Every structure is written in structure tokens, then in C-alpha cells.
């Protein structure tokens, strides 16, 4: 999948005009790329459109219009665009404020225990947080970035409509029954070359 360049982005003025329509389109798109894995974990599968939305929002909020600032945002977010042989995921750990500190302390290392499995193939565990460390001695972060690298045979099976499963195998959070719905599976297959 092609990375974003400055020329792919709307100016701040254009984005202000088109934001409501663009935002609605992206939210519909994201709904087909979201997967709940148990009650407290959500995976948001990123692609070029979701990343463009994130960059546009950052430019808007930070009022960035200088070429250097735009280049920095692109350098930050472009790594979240899959390259045709993988899926890139934003992992969200969602707990109410009262239980969040205890849960995040218990779930250290959860980002390394997330997996996908194409029917007929073994599990693929996530490569997590390549940009920076997101946990400390006390707790993990509520947000992580994952990459699932797929073998060519797995990609071929996905294009042949093989079932897809996902899960988390952590001692304090085991959810291995997340069958990926057909609309989500189709959206994710479109990311693969």
C-alpha cells in the first residue's frame, strides 16, 4: 500500500470545509476494520485512509501548515500503513477509570500475546511497539501499535476466502474465540498484495 505524501493531504482550509463529509466516510470505513477481542480489547486495523484521517486531524489540531511540520507528521504516521504483506493494528485496552490502573498493571506484555490465524496455518503473533516502548516496570500502556507479518501462503489463503481468527493469549486476558466477521475479513484481505 502506497505511503502518504504531502500532496495527498488537504490544506487546512480545504480540510475545514470537507471535514464533516470526510470524517463520516472514515468512520464508516473504520467500522469495517475494527475487531473486539474479548470485552476490553479492541483492534483497529489501519490502512492508508485511516492514517490520512489521523494525519489530517493532527495537522488541524496543531495548526500545522509548514512543510517541515507536515513531513514530521507523515514520518510519524506512515509506518502504520500496511505494505501488502502485513496488517498494522492500533490496540486499545479499554477499562473504566476505576479498574484501569489495576488492569494495566496486570496486563504487562499483552501486546506480545496478540495473534491472528488464517485457517490452515499457524498463529502469527504480533510484533509490537516498534516506534517506542509503551510499558514500564509498573504497567502497560492503554494503546499499542502491532504488526502481523503474514507468509505468502497465508496471504494466498486469505484471497481464497479462508476463515480468519484472532485472539489474545495472556495469563490475565485469554480470548481465543474471536472469529473475524466476513465484512472485516474482506476489508483486511484488501490490504494484502
Same structural domain for residues 135 and 87? Answer: yes
What is the structure's pLDDT at 137?
Answer: 81
Mean pLDDT calculated for residue range 14-18: 97
Q: Which domain holds residue 40?
A: 35-46+83-193
Same structural domain for residues 20 and 90? Answer: no
Is the pLDDT confidence value at 129 over 90?
Answer: no
Transcribe 25-85 into DSSP letters. HHHHHHHTTEEE-SSSEEEEEE-HHHHHHHHHHHHHHHT--SHHHHHHHHHHHGGGS--SS
Distance CA 139, CA 137 (A): 6
Same structural domain for residues 87 and 175? Answer: yes
Same structural domain for residues 149 and 68? Answer: no
Read off the pLDDT band of 134 (50, 70, 90).
confident
Same structural domain for residues 106 and 154? Answer: yes
In this structure, what DSSP letter does residue 191 have? T
Same structural domain for residues 141 and 173? Answer: yes
CATH classification of the domain holding 107: 2.60.40
Same structural domain for residues 103 and 159? Answer: yes
Same structural domain for residues 97 and 173? Answer: yes
Same structural domain for residues 20 and 88? Answer: no
In DSSP terms, which residues pair with 149 in a beta bridge?
86
Per-chain mean pLDDT for the chain = 94
Same structural domain for residues 114 and 138? Answer: yes
Number of structural domains the chain divides into: 2
Instruction: With 0.85 as the threshold, say if the pTM is over it.
Output: yes
Q: Give the Å distances, CA to CA, from 90 to 108, 126, 156.
A: 16, 11, 24
Same structural domain for residues 153 and 88? Answer: yes
Lowest mean pLDDT among 13-27, 47-61, 97-111, 178-192: 178-192
Amino acid at each position: 500500500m502506497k505511503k502518504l505524501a504531502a500532496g495527498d493531504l488537504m490544506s487546512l482550509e480545504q480540510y475545514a470545509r470537507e471535514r464533516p463529509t470526510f470524517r463520516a466516510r472514515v468512520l464508516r470505513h473504520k467500522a469495517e476494520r475494527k475487531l473486539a477481542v474479548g470485552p476490553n480489547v479492541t483492534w483497529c486495523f489501519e490502512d492508508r485512509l485511516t492514517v490520512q484521517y489521523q494525519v489530517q486531524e493532527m495537522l488541524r489540531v496543531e495548526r500545522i501548515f509548514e512543510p517541515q511540520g507536515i513531513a514530521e507528521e507523515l514520518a510519524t504516521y506512515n509506518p502504520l500503513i500496511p505494505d501488502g504483506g502485513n496488517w498494522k493494528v492500533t490496540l486499545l485496552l479499554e477499562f473504566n477509570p476505576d479498574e484501569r490502573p489495576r488492569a494495566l498493571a496486570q496486563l504487562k506484555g499483552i501486546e506480545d500475546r496478540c495473534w491472528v490465524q488464517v485457517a490452515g496455518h499457524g498463529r502469527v503473533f504480533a510484533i509490537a511497539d516498534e516506534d517506542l516502548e509503551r510499558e514500564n516496570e509498573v504497567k502497560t500502556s492503554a494503546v499499542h501499535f502491532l504488526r502481523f507479518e503474514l507468509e505468502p501462503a497465508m496471504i494466498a489463503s486469505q484471497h481464497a476466502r479462508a476463515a480468519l481468527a484472532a485472539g489474545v493469549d495472556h495469563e490475565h486476558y485469554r480470548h481465543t474465540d474471536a472469529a473475524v466477521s466476513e465484512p472485516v475479513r474482506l476489508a483486511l484481505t484488501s490490504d494484502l498484495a
